[in-house]
Chains A and B, each alone.
Chain A
Amino acid sequence: MSGEVQAAAVLGGFQESEQLDDSGPRGGRERRQRIGLGDWLLPVYTVLAFVFLLIPIVYTFVFSFNDSIKSNIAWRGFTLDKWLNVCNVEGGAVCEAFANSIVIGLAATVFATVLGTAIAIALVRYRFRARSSISLLLFLPMATPEVVLGAGLAAQFLAVGVPKDMTTIILAHTMFCISFVVVTVKARVASLDPALEEAGRDLYGSPSQVFWRITFPLLLPGIMAAALLSFALSFDDFIITNFNSGSVSTFPKYIYISASRGIPAEANVIASAVFIFALVLVIIAQVSRVARNKRLAKLS
């Protein structure tokens, strides 16, 4: 699923350039063509497409400043109040849901990243039987609709008699994040130059020294990208959470439940803050990646 992997790479901006940019030969010489329809049509379309993609985000952001009373539908004037007192609404229900989402996201990210990275290393580095069934087992969750994953886990928790709470959400999120971690980290392991580890062994490094001093630092960008992707997937998940959360609220679940009676502007505040935080993080990573590529190009 290169879509997600690509998203992870963009999210992280950590993946090395040779992975993203190892494109084949490109037409080096630009042809002189007459100015055709496509020369301005496509850029104009692209701008309009981005406007379309970003409209709901702008809407959510603008309405986080709305001086709304209960439901946040009609514009009633500008206020900073919602940003300054996010947790004051409904006894802090929004903030509690948000905090739950953060805790679940962090826990699922840690578990999925550790388990998934180990699998990725084993899949690339070792030959063993049952390899194709293991690959299928890891691929299938990504090709399964979330509602089936959610209902399946809920049916199992019901059959075993496990009450649904925060733990069941974390267990569910870890499951669907593992596959994405494996895909992301596997690409990184495959691109690793084995000569570097051999050099470490030649210099009498013990296996654990070689791993922690050479392999792990080289894998780190891929692992970071995988962790960020896991967190993003977990944080925004609603469908699987809805089936396995019982009475525990998460940020997306809070929105789903309050949708019938109107979302308070405080939810827009939290969503906008998360958006800005993520955007700044990604832009910094991307700009530094482009700058590094430029530096490398100059060196060679």
Chain B
Amino acid sequence: MAFAAFATTEAQPQAPKRKSRIALFLLLPGILYMVLFFLTPLISLILTSLQAPNEFGDIGVYDYAFNWQNYVTVVQEYWPHILRSFGYALVATVLALAFSYPLAYFIGVKARRWPLLQSIMLVLVIAPFFISFLLRTLAWKQLLSDESLIITSLKALSLMAPDAHFTGTPAAVIFGLTYNFIPFMTLPLYTTLERLDMRYLEAGSDLYANPFAVFRKVTIPLSMPGIVAGTLLTFIPAAGDYVNASRDFLGGPDTQMMGNVIEANFLVLLNYPAAAALSIILMAAILVLVGIYVRRSGTEDLL
């Protein structure tokens, strides 16, 4: 299902070739809108990424050019941020999967007999969506600050060095990314697990597979569409996020991600070509990674 939202297989024409003028009338405004405000901005972004500074202009004035050197410059300057973005997003995705799978399994499989409980738990999973993403992250910043109950207790129990900090570290940023994208992981997992046919699992144990083998050879492969959809829904926004890594939130000077440098270059330094080149690199890298991942996990039909 997941990415099959736009797949063509289910698009059975209910009224083939009927009044294509109506179809045009229905499609045209929306498609025109997407061309104007999604496609052309991407083209603007590519053009901007190749701009060169105006010789006589002020800061923030650029001319159209074919200055592909911008890409070399940003990679040289920001390669730690690029690596951090993908590294943090990857770890956060794995953690979110580990956290969400048992939760989704309980809601989707164990709680089937109680539809009301199932509904309540689903509402609780998406409840964090109803409160501002930024306030949730700030709440964690306070809850995990050096003076907080959690951190002081950890230090009292000698689980943390007395002079160590949590906020401002890569661990804190990864923690924030994981927390914030858990609902995106849990919901698609729930959707596939909810449809899991228990008879396959029974067949597995009838064939003398132990519960672990049943889980590994039956449950996991059957829930693969949910795993792929959930990991993509977590990885893509996590790689581009800059709120968690921001210094006013959970990050510090050494945790800045690509999003942070894109924001800084675009909105503060007015270095539009650098920001655009970084954005293009981010998008291209994500498309390539997603393509490889989907192919390797054997779920091409999802796209």
Q: Which of A23-31, A76-84, A216-224 contacts B (4 or more CB under 8 A)?
A: A23-31
- Kindly list chain B residues whose C-beta atoms are within 8 Å of the C-beta of A56: 128, 131, 135-137, 139-140, 143, 179
> Does A274 sit at the interface, judged by CB under 8 A?
yes
- Kindly list chain A residues whose C-beta atoms are within 8 Å of the C-beta of B40: 156
Interface residues of B in 199-237 (CB under 8 A from A): 199, 201-202, 211, 229-230, 232-233, 236-237
- Kindly list chain B residues whose C-beta atoms are within 8 Å of the C-beta of A126: 13, 15, 18-20, 22-23, 26
A73–B191 CB distance below 8 A: no
Bitwise interface map of B from 118 to 148 toward A, beta carbon under 8 Å scored 1, else 0:
0111111111111111111111101100000
Nearest-neighbour CB distance to chain A for B139, whole angstroms, equals 4
Bitwise interface map of B from 262 to 273 toward A, beta carbon under 8 Å scored 1, else 0:
110011000010
How distant is the Cα of A227 from the Cα of B54 in the complex, in angstroms?
Answer: 45
A290–B286 CB distance below 8 A: no
Bitwise interface map of B from 160 to 185 toward A, beta carbon under 8 Å scored 1, else 0:
00000000000000000001001111
Checking B6, B120, B129, B143 against A236 with a beta-carbon cut-off of 8 angstroms, the contacting residue is B129
B139–A145 CB distance below 8 A: no
- Kindly list chain B residues whose C-beta atoms are within 8 Å of the C-beta of A63: 139
> Does A102 sit at the interface, judged by CB under 8 A?
no
B130–A119 CB distance below 8 A: no
> Does A115 sit at the interface, judged by CB under 8 A?
yes
> Does A143 sit at the interface, judged by CB under 8 A?
yes
- Kindly list chain A residues whose C-beta atoms are within 8 Å of the C-beta of B102: 42, 45-46, 49
B276–A1 CB distance below 8 A: no
Q: How many residues of A contact B (CB 8 A)?
A: 110
Nearest-neighbour CB distance to chain B for A43, whole angstroms, equals 7
Interface residues of A in 12-40 (CB under 8 A from B): 23-27, 31, 36, 38
A152–B11 CB distance below 8 A: no
> Does B2 sit at the interface, judged by CB under 8 A?
yes
Checking A23, A73, A154, A294 against B142 with a beta-carbon cut-off of 8 angstroms, the contacting residue is A73
Nearest-neighbour CB distance to chain A for B240, whole angstroms, equals 3
- Kindly list chain B residues whose C-beta atoms are within 8 Å of the C-beta of A139: 3, 5-6
A6–B188 CB distance below 8 A: yes
Checking B14, B138, B266 against A151 with a beta-carbon cut-off of 8 angstroms, the contacting residue is B266
How distant is the Cα of A53 from the Cα of B197 in the complex, in angstroms?
Answer: 29
B239–A145 CB distance below 8 A: yes
B5–A141 CB distance below 8 A: no
> Does A5 sit at the interface, judged by CB under 8 A?
yes
- Kindly list chain B residues whose C-beta atoms are within 8 Å of the C-beta of A100: none
Known A-B contacts A145-B236, A152-B44, A232-B129; the reply to A2 vs B5 at CB < 8 A is yes
- Kindly list chain B residues whose C-beta atoms are within 8 Å of the C-beta of A255: 132, 134-135, 138
- Kindly list chain B residues whose C-beta atoms are within 8 Å of the C-beta of A275: 127, 130-131
A53–B127 CB distance below 8 A: yes
- Kindly list chain A residues whose C-beta atoms are within 8 Å of the C-beta of B106: 42-43, 45-46
- Kindly list chain B residues whose C-beta atoms are within 8 Å of the C-beta of A136: 6
- Kindly list chain B residues whose C-beta atoms are within 8 Å of the C-beta of A178: 30, 33-34
Bitwise interface map of A from 69 to 95 toward B, beta carbon under 8 Å scored 1, else 0:
000010000000000000000000000
**Nearest A residue to B192 by beta-carbon distance?**
A2
- Kindly list chain B residues whose C-beta atoms are within 8 Å of the C-beta of A110: none
> Does B190 sit at the interface, judged by CB under 8 A?
yes
Bitwise interface map of A from 269 to 287 toward B, beta carbon under 8 Å scored 1, else 0:
0011011001100110011
Known A-B contacts A119-B26, A290-B119; the reply to A183 vs B6 at CB < 8 A is yes
Q: Which of A73, A152, A154 has the most CB of B within 10 A?
A: A152
Nearest-neighbour CB distance to chain B for A22, whole angstroms, equals 8
How distant is the Cα of A59 from the Cα of B122 in the complex, in angstroms?
Answer: 21
How distant is the Cα of A232 from the Cα of B129 in the complex, in angstroms?
Answer: 8
> Does B45 sit at the interface, judged by CB under 8 A?
yes
> Does A248 sit at the interface, judged by CB under 8 A?
no
Interface residues of A in 178-210 (CB under 8 A from B): 178, 182-183, 186-187, 190, 194
A residues engaging B (CB < 8 A)? 1-7, 10-11, 23-27, 31, 36, 38, 42-43, 45-46, 49-50, 52-57, 59-60, 63, 73, 115-116, 118-119, 121-128, 131-132, 134-141, 143-149, 151-156, 158-159, 171-172, 174-175, 178, 182-183, 186-187, 190, 194, 232, 236, 238-239, 242-243, 251-252, 255-256, 259-260, 263, 267-268, 271-272, 274-275, 278-279, 282-283, 286-287, 289-290, 293-294
B residues engaging A (CB < 8 A)? 1-3, 5-6, 8, 10-11, 13-20, 22-24, 26-27, 29-31, 33-35, 37-42, 44-45, 47-48, 99, 102-103, 105-107, 110, 112, 115-116, 119-140, 142-143, 179, 182-185, 187-188, 190-191, 194-195, 197-199, 201-202, 211, 229-230, 232-233, 236-237, 239-243, 246, 248-249, 258-259, 262-263, 266-267, 272, 275-276, 279-280, 282-283, 286-287, 290
5 contacts between A and B (CB under 8 A): A56-B136, A122-B26, A134-B27, A158-B48, A256-B246
